[in-house]
A and B are shown apart, each in its own frame.
Chain A
Amino acid sequence: MDIGKESAPYVIEPIENPVPNQEPAPAPEEPVYAPEPEKVPA
């Protein structure tokens, strides 16, 4: 398809997802920290 005289390219980043079936991205998981090692009395 010939779209005729063209503009310069531009970028569109929609704030709403145009794909209705797409599940929202999962929330980032809480970081898991390793428990501090128990202090052993000297």
Chain B
Amino acid sequence: MIVPDKIAPEIGWRSWFLSPVSPVLLSSMTMCFLWPYEDAVVSDAPPSQDKQKGIHAARSLHQLRDCFGYLFSPPGMLPNIIGEVSLWGEVIEGERGFRAERAFPRSLYIATELWVETAWFDIQKAEGILRRYGVPVHVVDSPDDIQAPERMAA
């Protein structure tokens, strides 16, 4: 029996696209990796096995912006979604983020100001898809409207 070191998940920040194929799901930005509605995403190996393993997340919005160079995609790129993720299982904490064995979205944000309507999604459709995850979905005007005071400053 493994005795856990903690009983509350770590909270990180991530960015996703919506996959343009059915079923429409959150898709990782850097890998073609889909996030199901009803189950945690599980890493193919524990994070301690290899530096590349684990579900990655930034510690704060500030660090997420540093990672991609923006929070929401600039015009000309596919629109993205950002949000908090719960992280658990085996976890490694870093200065700028986490690598975890399991993850699931905790809250999701779309910015109307930067949402570029595509042939696949207008913003209402995107919001409806995100609601299937069963977590709070926030449609904000701009990134400045995201309320995450204690973690944003970290």
Contacts and interface: CB of A to CB of B under 8 A. Distances in A.
Contacts of B98: 3
B5 A11 contact: yes
Nearest to A1: B56
A36 to B, nearest CB: 37
A18 to B, nearest CB: 4
Contacts of B143: none
A22 B86 CA distance: 15
Interface residues of A, number: 20
Contacts, number: 94
Given A2-B94, A3-B93, A19-B38, 7 more contacts: A1-B30, A1-B58, A3-B97, A4-B95, A7-B93, A18-B86, A19-B39
Interface of B: 2, 4-10, 30, 37-40, 46-48, 56, 58, 67, 86-100, 104, 106, 132-135
A26 interface: no
Given A3-B56, A7-B94, A12 B46 contact: no
B37 A13 contact: no
Interface of A: 1-15, 18-22
Contacts of B38: 19, 21-22
Contacts of B10: 12
A1 B67 contact: yes
Nearest to A7: B93
